């Protein structure tokens, strides 16, 4: 028997292949669900703006470089996204207290309001989709996703 055949039937490899398939489907279906959701609440922020506002809400004001590093994005990409958020009145810039030459960004009340509306709509959506799940299964899913996200973050920081 060849090594390739043994690897293909290794239970751990089979499980990892299933995980890879399910994550790929999750990403595709998650985006398709976001696009197909008809409520205006889901469309008040694009995905990038939502992620930036959620991060700033959780961590406090930051400069663009720190934000880009934390979100694993190119600085120029974050700069463009931040400019759009500022133009829409969703973030403010202020002098960086640790470096007078720089600025930090923080969400405005309008930005936090829109972010909260999107978050609430998403919570309702997942509540509807998972309504027939046992609460322990929902809790287990949340914990497993948290652990997966932590592993993905560790992986991207090693690059």
Residues 42, 128: Cα–Cα separation, whole Å: 15
- Indicate whether 66 pLDDT > 60: yes
73-130 pLDDT per residue, tens: 888 889 999 999 999 999 999 988 888 788 899 999 999 999 999 999 889 989 999 9
Q: Which of 63, 70, 69 is closest to 103 using CA atoms?
A: 63
DSSP string, 67-130: HHHHHT--HHHHHHHHHHHHHTTSEEEEEETTEEEEEEEEE-HHHHHHHHHHHHHHHHHHHHHT
Write down the pLDDT at residue 72.
85
Write down the pLDDT at residue 112.
96
Residues 26, 32: Cα–Cα separation, whole Å: 10
What's the helix, strand, coil split of the chain in %, to 5?
Answer: 70, 10, 20
Calculate ∠ Cα 39-41-46, nearest 5°. Answer: 110
- Indicate whether 140 pLDDT > 80: yes
- Indicate whether 56 pLDDT > 80: yes
5-40 pLDDT per residue, tens: 445 578 888 999 999 999 999 888 877 777 777 666
Write down the pLDDT at residue 41.
65
Q: How far is CA 80 from the centre of its chain?
A: 18
Write down the pLDDT at residue 42.
59
DSSP-derived secondary structure letter, 131: T
Task: With cut-offs at 50, 70 and 90, classify the pLDDT of residue 70.
Answer: confident
Q: Greater confidence, 132 or 28? A: 132
């Amino acid at each position: 028997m060849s090594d390739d055949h043994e690897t293909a039937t290794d239970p751990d490899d089979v499980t990892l292949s299933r995980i890879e398939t399910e994550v790929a489907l999750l990403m595709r279906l998650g985006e398709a669900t976001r696009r197909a959701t008809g409520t205006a609440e889901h469309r008040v922020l694009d995905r990038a703006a939502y992620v930036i506002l959620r991060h700033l809400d959780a961590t406090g004001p930051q400069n663009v470089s720190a934000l880009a590093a934390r979100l694993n994005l190119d600085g120029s990409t974050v700069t463009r996204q931040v400019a759009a958020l500022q133009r829409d009145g969703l973030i403010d810039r202020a002098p960086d207290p640790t470096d007078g030459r720089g600025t930090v960004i923080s969400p405005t009340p309008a930005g936090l309001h829109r972010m909260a509306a999107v978050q609430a709509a998403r919570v309702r959506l997942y509540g509807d989709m998972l309504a027939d799940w046992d609460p322990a299964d929902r809790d287990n899913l949340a914990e497993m996703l948290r652990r997966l996200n932590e592993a993905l973050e560790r992986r991207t920081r090693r690059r």
